Amino acid sequence: MIKVFDRFFGNSATTEEPCSSGSQNLEDAYAIIMRHVTAPPLRIDTHVDQDTFQRLLKRVETTWARLGQEDAHWSVITDDRFRKHSINGHIDDFFAMGEVDIARMEASLARAGVALSDIETAMDFGCGVGRLSIPLARKTGHVLGVDISAAHLQEAKANVENIGCRNVEFFKASSVADIRDLQKFDLVISLIVLQHNPPPVMLEILNALCARVKLGGYLYIQAQTYRSGYHYSVQEDLSDSSDKMEMHVLPQHLFLQTIQDNGLTILEVMEDGAAWSLDYRSQVVVAHKR
Ligand SMILES: C[S@@+](CC[C@H](N)C(=O)[O-])C[C@H]1O[C@@H](n2cnc3c(N)ncnc32)[C@H](O)[C@@H]1O
């Protein structure tokens, strides 16, 4: 099953090879595609008061500050090759994964008639250590990497200096107001970031990111939109004092509706398999502000 999953969602950015070899493969693929079609709705609290909102966001900041200090590259892609003690030998593999993600985005935008080389300004929201900012900077005029974690931003700056990339800057955003105060961009991209914030926070961030897209600009954004058994109760969440890496879901109707309510037209919704688990659904949306 996983082999088929890999062929659908795996590492090749450009493959056009159809999945047609053998009926067993096709049956497995069909089972994967159909796995959530009769799934029940998710119970999710989406609204909280301001104090609670700040508390939830502060917790995200504390967690990522810790992860950034302990093991920044591994916290971005949780593969043991990218642990602190082994990242030096695998840094090229780490950035190669970012190149693949940017190549996929480039292909999505090309299908919408846009060339990355025409993008003058891009924001990489939740940029981590620059895994996407660096390959994006090679193809666009200028990139602003934005993150809530100073420790990740420090690593990102070091990575940019090592590579000698000059058209990337970084900014620490600790609040949604910090995002809203930013300039507008031709392209806003955010991959594997929203999912680490509770749904009420995700929604506010998504609104703020949509508002930072210029008229005529594009949004390329990923969220986990389903997980079997997921629910979100603010009360339950606040009673959990651990600072583990949070994993949350934004149901697809809320994800798409929020983007549309901000005046963007959805051009593509693509399955992306970012969770590496068939329990989840993860999707990337390409949207345009006309
Ligand atoms: C899994 S990493 C992904 C990094 C990058 N997008 C990539 O794909 O390489 C998640 C990053 O998002 C950042 N992040 C999470 N929540 C955030 C928020 N509310 N505001 C800004 N950054 C956030 C974390 O600090 C971390 O650097």
Cα distance between residue 174 and residue 155, in whole Å:
18
Whole-structure pTM value: 0.93
Which residue from 35, 92, 56 is spatially nearest to 199, judged by alpha carbons? 56
Query: Is any atom of ligand 1 closer than 6 Å to the C-beta of 147?
Result: yes
pLDDT in tens, 217-255: 999 999 999 999 999 999 999 998 888 999 999 999 999
Residue whose tokens read 């990575």:
159
Query: Is any atom of ligand 1 closer than 6 Å to the C-beta of 195?
Result: no
Query: Is any atom of ligand 1 closer than 6 Å to the C-beta of 76?
Result: yes
Would you list the domain boundaries of the chain? 35-289
pLDDT in tens, 154-167: 999 999 999 999 99
pLDDT > 70 in the chain, percent: 93
Query: Is any atom of ligand 1 closer than 6 Å to the C-beta of 131?
Result: yes
pLDDT in tens, 46-103: 999 999 999 999 999 999 999 999 999 999 999 999 999 999 999 999 999 999 999 9
Residue minimizing CA distance to atom 4 of ligand 1:
128
Query: Is any atom of ligand 1 closer than 6 Å to the C-beta of 148?
Result: yes
Which residue from 112, 105, 109 is spatially nearest to 131, judged by alpha carbons? 105
Cα distance between residue 260 and residue 263, in whole Å:
5
Reported confidence tier of residue 171, pLDDT bands at 50, 70, 90: very high
**Amino acid letter, residue 257:** Q
Residue minimizing CA distance to atom 20 of ligand 1:
148
Cα distance between residue 188 and residue 211, in whole Å:
10
Residue minimizing CA distance to atom 15 of ligand 1:
193
**Amino acid letter, residue 129:** V
Measure CA of the first residue to CA of the last residue in the chain; give whole Å: 41
CATH of domain 35-289: 3.40.50.150
State the distance from the centre of ligand 1 to the C-alpha of 192, rounded, in angstroms. 7
Torsion angle, alpha carbons of 91, 92, 98, 103, to 10 = 180
**Amino acid letter, residue 128:** G
Q: Residue 257 in contact with residue 184, Cβ under 8 Å?
A: no
Ligand 1 atom closest to Cα of residue 201: 19
Phi/psi of residue 34, nearest 5 degrees: -90, 5
